Amino acid sequence: MQMNWILPTQIIMLPEEKDLHSHQYHQLVIGLKGQAEFEINDKSSIIYAGKVGVIPANYQHAFSSLFQAEVLVLNFPQFFGSNELANRVNDLFVDSGYYQLDAQIQNLIQLLVCEIQASRDDSLLNKACSDTIISLLHRHLIDENTDKIIKRLNVEVIDNFIAQNIGRKITIAQLSSTVFLGESQFYAIFKQELGITPHKYIVEKRLKFAKTLLETGQFTVGEIAQQTGFANQSAFSHAFMKHIGHSPSKHRQIHFIRN
């Protein structure tokens, strides 16, 4: 006996309070805006625009908004009749996981979301959108739990921008624009792929350059602080001590002793 498609496709703003629950149907959650913290059977991740959470039926899961999180939610029954759509649903929900959509399907989903928002009570349209998305996901999902993960950030472009502006103030907005991402999305992807915040990454680049200048012996500590983008010599010395473990002057002394 074939079970019909269930529950409407929904576009919702996630609450800030985390709610652990489960349900007897499969669920796809696709990030549209902002950021949200997700947990599916103890697997945690951050959902942002273009990121997908796959939640099989009866799996415990919870989510909470970190920054104005808006998501597209699609629900599917556990059992269909013997048809192609059923096979695709069953293949996708074998296990829970987090995935990244490629740019092509992200653009398509944005168009579908506009149609859904314009006709919220059109159940036929909702079902058509749901079926379209599930049919395309097999070719467009990038599994974050395999070696096939595709990095979304071009680190070389980011590094070049930092190097060219090392003596100036560098903002998240500037960095995100170099890779054509919004600030919140860039921040989340950056931290996920590089393991640190953009701010800490910039500081590390400044200090790496500062170490090179200190080892040449051509500039004073104050001049190096200015050339590497620190507000003043005090701020530079404080950051150097915190990250390197000794003062800039000590670093220069150590280098000269070794050479």
Mean pLDDT by 10 residues, the chain (259 residues): 53 83 89 89 86 90 86 82 70 83 79 82 79 74 48 82 93 88 84 90 94 87 93 92 89 69
Angle at 100 between CA 198 and CA 87, to 5 degrees: 165
What is the reported pLDDT for 7? 60
Pairwise CA distance, residues 244 & 208, whole Å:
10
- Prediction pTM value: 0.53
Q: Where are the domains of the chain?
A: 10-143, 155-258
User: CA 142 to CA 133: how far, in whole Å?
Assistant: 15
For residue 230, the model assigns a pLDDT of 93
CATH of 155-258, one of 1.10.3720.10, 1.10.10.10, 1.10.10.60, 3.30.1860.10: 1.10.10.60
For residue 138, what are its two tokens?
A: 């097999």
Distance CA 38, CA 224 (A): 43
Residue 24 pLDDT:
87
Residue 81 has what pLDDT? 60
CATH code for the domain defined by 10-143: 2.60.120.280
Contact 6, 127 (CB under 8 A): no
